[in-house]
Structure 1
Amino acid sequence: MKSKVPFTELQARMKRFRDKMKVSNPDWEIAVVINKINLYYFTGTMQDGLLMIPRGDEAIFWVRRSYERALEESFFPNIKPMNTYSDVAASFKEFPKVLYMETESVPLALYQRLQKYFSFTVGHAVDAQIAAIRAIKSPYELSLMEQSGKIHQRVMEDDVPKLLKEGISEARLATEVFSLLVEEGHHGVTRLRGFDTEMALGYTAFGESSLYPTCFYGPAGSYGISWAVPTMGSRERKLKKGDLVYMDLGCGVGGYHTDKTMTYMFGESLPEKAISIHNQCVEIQYQIADMLKPGAVPATIYDTIMNSLSHAFRENFMGFGKRAIPFLGHAIGLWTDELPIIAKGFSEPLKEGMVFAIEPKKGIEDIGVVGIENTFVVTPQGGRSITGDHPGLLPVY
């Protein structure tokens, strides 16, 4: 995917940011964007640099490396080269005392470096404002996510069953699926908002390995490649008859992600109890999707669903044992795990064009994690899935 982000798209994003700042921080004077994902959002190119956004003047993208690539890739109107921050500081006669920045991703050493060159007194967070404008996807952004969703659906529903063979390892299956996704158009990485969190593709797990504890903030786990790389899947765990196959994978096109989980029954059917639990998770997904309408409140959706579940079903729901996570889904876009979240505490009403990955899942001892995940666009009619509608537990006999 090598088409430039349209100039009109970049203009609209900057305007929305400025409008948001006027409402949330009426006295703001200047903001800096450093995180590469946010830089891509505002400029259409992912380079090493600083995007300086003065309140009363045009924004300038100062690029250390690669200035040439930035000019080639971006329609952003003001791109200038820099060697050090002193080049940027010299462009200001007087710098404001307050600098708004991404406090979630700016480390202390970088903060101190910025303070050295720009002599501001205090740094204030701008993360929430950027997250809020990124949460509503434009038609351009949705078109990329829809392309990703079609790839996701095709590979996970049509191609994966052909790869399930007795004796294949989790890691081998994951790499074969990764190769297929890239061949189909996947941009090749799964990006995450969480600090110091990395993931190449997602989680592939056979049977009980999906119940294994993980540092990743999700309802399932995996042994992973090793203790040092606890993702993808294990080289040692091989597929055998009767296994539940769990695949929670990211896909993306042009920087924009979709999220999808598919489950498969290999060799023989799972016990009826497990199938029944899985089907209830699928029904919960449909219930949440029906509520994904403009004006709906994420916290209310969460409470409505959780209050409808029996005490017995809530045990091991959204995580096995004591590892349950307190959400039912999350926004998605340039990061796989964006804000807002379908959880308590998120009281801002949904808006048309937001996109959510909805993932009701439940762990079953000695069997693994059942359930489902698809990516939905918020519309007046409810959530519209862009990753397919297969209920999962696809039999491969």
Structure 2
Amino acid sequence: MHSSDGTVPEAELKDRMGRFRARMDADNPDWELAVFFGKINLYYFTGTMQDGMLLVPRDDEAVFRVRRSYERACDESLFPCIRPMGSFRDAAGDLGHPFGTVHLETELVPLALLQRFRKHFPFDHTQSLDRQAAKVRAVKSAYELGCMERAGEVHRRVLEERVPGLLREGMTEMAFITALYDVMVEEGHQGIVRFGGFGTEMAVGQVGFGESSIYPTCFDGPGGSYGLSPAVPLLGSRERRLKRGDLVFVDVGCGVAGYHTDKTMTYMFGAPLPDEAVLAHRRCVEVQHRTAAMLRPGAVPSAIYDAVMGDLEPAFRENFMGFGARQAKFLGHGIGLQVDEMPVIARGFDDPLEENMVFAVEPKKGIRGVGMVGTENTFVVTPAGGRCITGDHPGLMPVW
């Protein structure tokens, strides 16, 4: 068997499927069939990221039908039932009767794909399974935490130890980002960062010099970036060069074996930042510590959000979690196989936290003429509060 990053254990796959079925039973007692098409969920439940579909009948064995590559799926996966599929027609015999309702990834499945599937698997109605799958994935196993702890250590080494040696006066944002990517991969990063948000693209992360880090973007987060062009508002500018006195803002995900951590570090290049920016940054670090301390089983994300935000001074709240009118309405987000997982530390998320959920906590504040100060680290929910797995440097690291 070929597997450079390890095979997902069979017991792990069995536990995940069992927890998903239990969640469906609890939320939808009359459910009949769940079908997965998205590669992230396919990997989560089968241990391989091949093109196909996972059929989960309520009263029968789950079947992973693989279009391409069946051979690789068999090589990589310990899932108990994998079968080849040229088209949906080949798999139609797996299920013995039509269904009233089929549960699908409604946030993901295109209408055209649904129509092709329906030709061979007749049913009357569709319902979402997105919330149920997200809840199952939100609680991490020891195996998953091991992957994330490895990612967190790579993250810490790169941002706390390697980045200062990459920065040099006169380099462009693009030159810095490509050097950063090279070092991340060298240290063990998987080379890709995955998001669940519709249409979200991210090559490395949000990285900027000075005011670039508060330039508006479509990404739902506090930071900003000039990007390459209107067609590619990612990576960094080929024109903006690093100069003495710049704030350097680095907000990047890091992945190992599919699992991510999220971390932001800031640096003062060549000279200190204005006192206003330093004080705002320190306040953000205090907010991170307070938020992380509340990440305990039973705590409610919306209550954490309201408690922390309610204690912020009105003047500090201006340009907090963004800049100008572009302010993100959260303090942190779940993370795992994707950077933007559920739940979120925000209003509307009222289910209590469970042990071994994992969150990126990212209080940040935009400063006119300076950029985005603040911090971000990844924390595991424990009875003692959030346990950081990405390092403890407070940020605004001086690089003279």
Shorter-normalised TM range: over 0.9
Instruction: Give aligned pairs, total.
Output: 397
Query: Could you give the per-residue CA deviations for residues 213-234 of structure 1, whole angstroms, max 9, x where no partner exists?
Result: 0000010110012211112211
Question: For 2:254, which of 251, 255, 258 is the aligned residue?
Answer: 251
Counterpart CA distance in 1 for 2:270 and 2:167 is: 10
User: Are 1:5 and 2:8 an aligned pair?
Assistant: yes
User: Are 1:145 and 2:148 an aligned pair?
Assistant: yes
**SS of the counterpart of 2:94?**
coil
Larger CA deviation: 89-98 vs 261-270:
89-98
Question: For 1:130, which of 130, 133, 146 is the aligned residue?
Answer: 133
Report the Cα offset of residue 335 of structure 1.
0.3
> Which AA in structure 1 matches 2:285?
V
In structure 2, the residue matched to 1:389 is 392
Question: For 1:197, which of 197, 200, 204 is the aligned residue?
Answer: 200
Question: For 1:60, which of 36, 60, 63 is the aligned residue?
Answer: 63
> Which AA in structure 2 matches 1:140?
Y
> Which AA in structure 1 matches 2:21?
R
Asked if the contact 1:318/1:326 (under 8 Å) is kept, the reply is: yes
In structure 1, the residue matched to 2:329 is 326
Query: Could you give the per-residue CA deviations for residues 158-209 of structure 1, whole angstroms, max 9, x where no partner exists?
Result: 0000111001111111111111111111111110010111112101100001
Counterpart CA distance in 1 for 2:238 and 2:260 is: 27
In structure 1, the residue matched to 2:375 is 372
Counterpart CA distance in 2 for 1:183 and 1:121 is: 51
Query: Could you give the per-residue CA deviations for residues 253-272 of structure 1, whole angstroms, max 9, x where no partner exists?
Result: 00000000000000000011
Question: For 2:221, which of 218, 221, 232 is the aligned residue?
Answer: 218
> Which AA in structure 1 matches 2:54?
L
Query: Could you give the per-residue CA deviations for residues 100-144 of structure 1, whole angstroms, max 9, x where no partner exists?
Result: 000000011111112222111111000000000000000000000
**SS of the counterpart of 1:121?**
strand
Question: Given the two structures, how large is their TM-score scaled by the length of structure 1?
Answer: 0.99
**SS of the counterpart of 2:327?**
coil
**SS of the counterpart of 1:390?**
coil
Question: Given the two structures, how large is their TM-score scaled by the length of structure 2?
Answer: 0.98
Asked if the contact 1:187/1:252 (under 8 Å) is kept, the reply is: yes
Report the Cα offset of residue 91 of structure 1.
2.5
Alignment of 1:261-300 (within 5 A): 261-300=264-303
Larger CA deviation: 335-344 vs 191-200:
191-200
Counterpart CA distance in 1 for 2:180 and 2:147 is: 20
Counterpart CA distance in 2 for 1:336 and 1:172 is: 25
Counterpart CA distance in 2 for 1:228 and 1:139 is: 41
Counterpart CA distance in 2 for 1:251 and 1:284 is: 23
Report the Cα offset of residue 246 of structure 1.
0.1
> Which AA in structure 2 matches 1:148?
A
Alignment of 1:78-157 (within 5 A): 78-157=81-160
- Over the aligned positions, Cα root-mean-square deviation in angstroms equals 0.7
Asked if the contact 1:297/1:348 (under 8 Å) is kept, the reply is: yes
Counterpart CA distance in 1 for 2:337 and 2:96 is: 35
Counterpart CA distance in 2 for 1:138 and 1:93 is: 34
> Which AA in structure 1 matches 2:111?
L
Asked if the contact 1:258/1:375 (under 8 Å) is kept, the reply is: yes
> Which AA in structure 1 matches 2:258?
G
In structure 2, the residue matched to 1:183 is 186
In structure 1, the residue matched to 2:167 is 164
Counterpart CA distance in 1 for 2:31 and 2:331 is: 35
In structure 2, the residue matched to 1:26 is 29
Gaps of 5+ in 1: none
Asked if the contact 1:171/1:204 (under 8 Å) is kept, the reply is: no
**SS of the counterpart of 1:159?**
helix
**SS of the counterpart of 1:90?**
helix
Larger CA deviation: 323-332 vs 85-94:
85-94
> Which AA in structure 2 matches 1:199?
M
Counterpart CA distance in 1 for 2:197 and 2:104 is: 17
Question: For 2:49, which of 37, 40, 46 is the aligned residue?
Answer: 46
